[in-house]
Chains A and B, each alone.
Chain A
Amino acid sequence: MKSGTYIKRPNRALQIYACVFLFVLYLPVLFIPLFSFNDSIYVRFPMQGLTTRWYVDLWSRDTVWAALGNSVTVGIWVSVISTGLGVVAARAITRYRIPGQSAILTFALLPLIVPGIIFGVALLVLLSRLGIPLSLYTVGLGHLIICLPFAIATLLPRFEGFERSLDEASADLGENGWWTFWRVTFPMVAPGILASLLLTFTISFDEFIMTFFLSGTDTTLPIYIWSQLRFPQQFPVVLAMSSVILALSFVMVFVALWIGRMGVAREYADDPQ
């Protein structure tokens, strides 16, 4: 094993595997932006020449923009509410000794595992029993159920790393609970809050199954895309739109991860050891 650290010695086979894995993972996705520039309504090689007309077409469709607007509106509300509830939950879980704490936590995180279709059907049945008409509000409610555990899971580590003596120091220096939250807790968990906002927004934006069950006449973007797939001539526009969403999603996820990492790095740097 020549020079270098034992634990860091290179493994050629694993490196190749990693490259193949990433290539296979993203190859299908790459076809979407590729064919969105194809000057033909059929997705097949060889490509018929480059065009941006699908993007221009996309630009002029009001239904697309209405669906996008719905998605963004629901996404913002869902991300803000689920992150807010997540902050409260994470603080309670890390701060207090609650009887049956692990059971409650498991219960709160359960929607991560339970298939969305089950929640979707259950909510649909419940709402129709209660006579509540389907709308963007019911869609938001469904998204909230899915997003809340993600918010809690994102925020918990930030709150767990939070030293209780900092709260005590703030109280000792004359600040009540409210000011302590704004001057100490909030700035320290802010990276987690931002990461949670971005993550839950993305999840809400992507969500299909729950939305499919719970949406009324106003649809979100994923539902709109799905409805357009029945018409072959619409397909290139859908590809163009997907490419745009793909690009935006990538940016958002990277920003979320970067912010989360920055917070962790700062925490390590603060540790004198």
Chain B
Amino acid sequence: MKSPDAFISIRDVGKSYGTFRAIESVSLDIAHGEFFSLLGASGSGKTTLLRMLAGFEGVTSGEIFIDGAPMSDVPPHKRPVNMVFQNYAIFPHLNVAQNVGYGLRRLKLPRARQNEMVDEMLDLVQLGGYGARRAHELSGGQRQRIALARALILKPKVLLLDEPLGALDKQLREQMQVELRRLQRAIGITFVFVTHDQEEALTLSDRIAVMDGGAILQVDSPAALYERPRTRDVAGFIGNMNFLDARVKGMAHGYASLEVDGLGALNLPAEGKQLVEGARVCVAIRPEKLVLHDSLPGGPEKAVQGMIELVTYLGERSHYHVRLPGCAAPLAISFQNSRIKPAHPAQEGRTVWITWTPDALILLERAQK
């Protein structure tokens, strides 16, 4: 599985604290210049994995290679990586320029060259002229840029980011997302980004590893994770998802013939899944892939009837909860308001028809619980 262009290679890495296993055996390859995200809820092991890359946490088993070199015996101050900390860890007793230039001491450069490098970095993060400011005079967004500049000035092979946008308000966060992406393209180094915010991960990343309980559930591009989640956990974690119980009636030519609660008989590609007749499976569908109709549409596609239970107006779109006969939970449907008349509470209780495109349905095996 180790690909030749893997820049960071995590091989069967595990981490235990006493009897508690924080990281199960994890293997992962990250390519050079990739914007790679570790996505998961708190306690999923994503930060532990990042801290192991930085060298702040030892590896209980397995090995981490960066640029081909094993990292087990390399202390943090000798690793070719730099980190942006969650709370930024700006040195409060130093000013902005001293913070950014902190790592330059060991390079033994002339003073003038150091100042030049600091100024370049400050320009790169759009804080030119802020060098003499004290750390406590800065806003959250500015501290974040200082932390970035301080880490990038050493030209690391890998930049590690531990939820760097978590402390910022929504608007600033979106602005910094764009900027991070721009920076990463400009300098072309590998970014490993830890976040619990799935939207942020989708926006920024080339690839995402979804983590839960110290294990990696799926590694894929944002689009693949969103459109083709491989497990129910991943499907539920990324975006909103409707899950419908289904029973396998038969298999033929790579297709599974299913009886789906609320939707009736359907054929879906089995995608290599070995399913036996009578097995209980699950069908997932995104709320925005369902279409609402006032009357039975005339087209060839399958349509089912339901009743609107709840309408929520969200500005750009509206959310509907539609009760289907034979379904335990109502179906969530999301509609762009530009496509229909805005939602109105008076619509609650109305009978509607629902259609979907065939590729909108995702066949998932039920979690072994």
Contacts and interface: CB of A to CB of B under 8 A. Distances in A.
A168 B93 contact: no
Interface residues of B, number: 30
B76 A168 contact: yes
A188 B106 CA distance: 21
Contacts of B151: 172-173
Interface in B43-79: 54-56, 75-78
A252 B288 CA distance: 72
B180 interface: no
Interface in A156-186: 163, 165-166, 168-176, 179, 183-184
A270 interface: yes
A10 interface: no
Interface size class of A (residues with CB under 8 A): 20 to 34
B93 A163 contact: no
B89 A171 contact: no
Contacts of A165: 85-87, 89
Given A267-B92, A272-B140, A173 B82 contact: yes
Nearest to A177: B77
B103 A173 contact: yes
A266 interface: yes
Interface in A1-51: none
Given A176-B77, A267-B92, A270-B92, A170 B136 contact: no
B135 interface: yes
B54 A172 contact: yes
Contact of B154 (A174, A176, A179, A269): A174
Contacts of A166: 89, 91
A269 B136 CA distance: 6
A124 to B, nearest CB: 45
A168 B77 contact: no
Contacts of A184: 91, 93
Interface string A245-271: 000000000000000000000110111
Contacts of A266: 92, 136
A272 B105 CA distance: 28
Contacts of A179: 105
Given A168-B56, A272-B136, A173 B87 contact: no
B143 interface: yes
B89 A169 contact: yes
Contacts of B91: 166, 169-170, 184
A188 to B, nearest CB: 6
Interface of A: 163, 165-166, 168-176, 179, 183-184, 187-188, 266-267, 269-272
Given A168-B76, A171-B56, A175-B103, 18 more contacts: A163-B89, A165-B87, A165-B89, A166-B89, A168-B54, A169-B91, A169-B150, A171-B75, A172-B77, A172-B151, A173-B77, A173-B150, A173-B151, A173-B154, A175-B77, A184-B91, A270-B135, A270-B136
What 5 A-B pairs are tightest by C-beta distance, nearest first? A173-B103, A169-B89, A270-B92, A165-B89, A270-B136
